[in-house]
Amino acid sequence: MIGSIMTINGQPLGDGRGTVRLIVNGSPVALEIVEWSATAAKVRIPAELPAGTQAQIEILRADGSVFIEGFRCGSCGAVFPEATMACRACGHRPPPEAFTARETGKLHSWSVVHRSYPGIAVPFVLAIVDLDDGLTIKGTLRDVAEADLRSGMPVRLMFDDAGGARDPQGAPYVGFHFIPAGGQP
């Protein structure tokens, strides 16, 4: 059986730096990648899956690492956090191309949160960070005293297991946060 995967969570597959895995009833199933491009992956599934089978698709880098993907217009260079059909800045088509976001940037703005949902430790710093490639994202900034926060402060993106959260099959969720650029993970 051959199937096409065009997007994951509504995003194009990117430039082919990864692999595709099919997880059926919690166990990986071997797939043959027939074709991979920036817009679709064609995979051969070894057998028909019975009706009602629980399955999910995972896309990983070849080394299994995680990353944040941005999208850059080939005409004007504008950067976006999500895929679009055309550049929102200049209207250029084809769609902006996927790229792997840099893991360094500068603190743009922040808010110190003193009240949150039950179980969430406060205070924490909610930060807006301009990554060095032009992408702007929001996340928690850790390991810095409130008095040391300043606009333009160099920060680094870190990935973690989202506080130990797991999906129903026991696989860890992936989360991210920022730390001062000179800090340790």
Per-residue pLDDT tens digits for 134-165: 999 999 999 999 999 999 999 999 888 777 77
The rounded distance, in Å, linking the Cα atoms of 38 and 125 is 36
Contact 32, 26 (CB under 8 A): no
Same domain, 43 and 96: no
73 plus 132 within the same structural domain: no
User: What pLDDT digit, counting tens, does each position of 10-38 carry?
Assistant: 344 444 445 555 555 556 665 655 555 54
CATH code assigned at 125: 2.40.50.140
The share of the chain scoring above pLDDT 90, in percent, equals: 37
Q: Considering the domain boundaries, does residue 185 fall inside one?
A: no
Same domain, 106 and 174: yes
Task: Give how far Cα 111 sits from Cα of 84, 124, 132, 152, Å.
Answer: 29, 8, 21, 15
Distance CA 132, CA 177 (A): 16
Provide the domain count of the chain: 3
Domain that holds residue 174: 102-180
pLDDT confidence tier of residue 181, bands split at 50, 70 and 90: very high
Residues 19 and 48 occupy one common structural domain: yes
